[in-house]
Amino acid sequence: MGVKERRARQKRFLRQEILDAASELFVRDGYENVSMRRIANKIEYSPTTIYIYFKDKAELLDRVCKETFGRLVQRLSKIMEQPGDPVQRLKRGLIAYIEFGLENPHHYRATFMMLLPEGFDKTKFHEIDSPGMQAFAFLTRGVGECIEAGKMPAMNVELASQTLWAGIHGITSLLITHDTFPWVGRDKVIHATVDTLVAGLQGAG
């Protein structure tokens, strides 16, 4: 690996380290209580270094959200391209969503659970080509394919997809914030939740 490639890789690693530290602090201490200096102190760099990559903490939060959505889209897209039964594919996607949240709890909480600061433009995550809506499109596509294959009755796809999202977000949030609860088994609860949600749609109508 040449010097240029090594430097580029180091920059990517540092940028990701900044995002990871910011998401953890935003969730733990609240957005308003976090400064660029505190983020710099956490990763043991100077604030000047942080400003090379991000102009302020609002941009940092924006990038945390966008990159979280982007990584989620990548994972779900791979599942959507798999052949086979659309119901099982939909279930695999729902489980992958939950597992993604559990593997990235700080990023998930910053993106989906944290109260965004006043003045932060939330609407950009709802634009049709945004990473957020691309992630949600997995649900609408999955439900639509189940209906087309005759595995689910005709229904309002948007409503069904929002219902699924509410369900998987709920169990993801609970498992992140209540990890000491005496669950009967994390995987059992995840699979039971997904099975129940999908069976509910199959029996609708």
Q: Which of 20-34, 54-68, 181-195 has the highest mean pLDDT?
A: 181-195
Question: How far is 146 from 29, CA to CA, in rounded Å?
Answer: 42
Question: What pLDDT is attached to residue 200?
Answer: 95
Q: Kindly state the average pLDDT of the residues 179-196.
A: 96
Model confidence over 33-45: pLDDT tens digits? Answer: 889 999 999 998 8
Model confidence over 44-53: pLDDT tens digits? Answer: 888 898 899 9
Among residues 143, 189, 184, which one has the least CA distance to residue 170? 189
**Vertex 29: Cα angle to 26 and 30 (nearest 5):** 55
Q: Kindly state the average pLDDT of the residues 52-65.
A: 88
In the predicted structure, residue 111 carries a pLDDT above the cut 80: yes
Domains of the chain: 3-202 (1.10.357.10)
Average per-residue pLDDT for the chain? 89
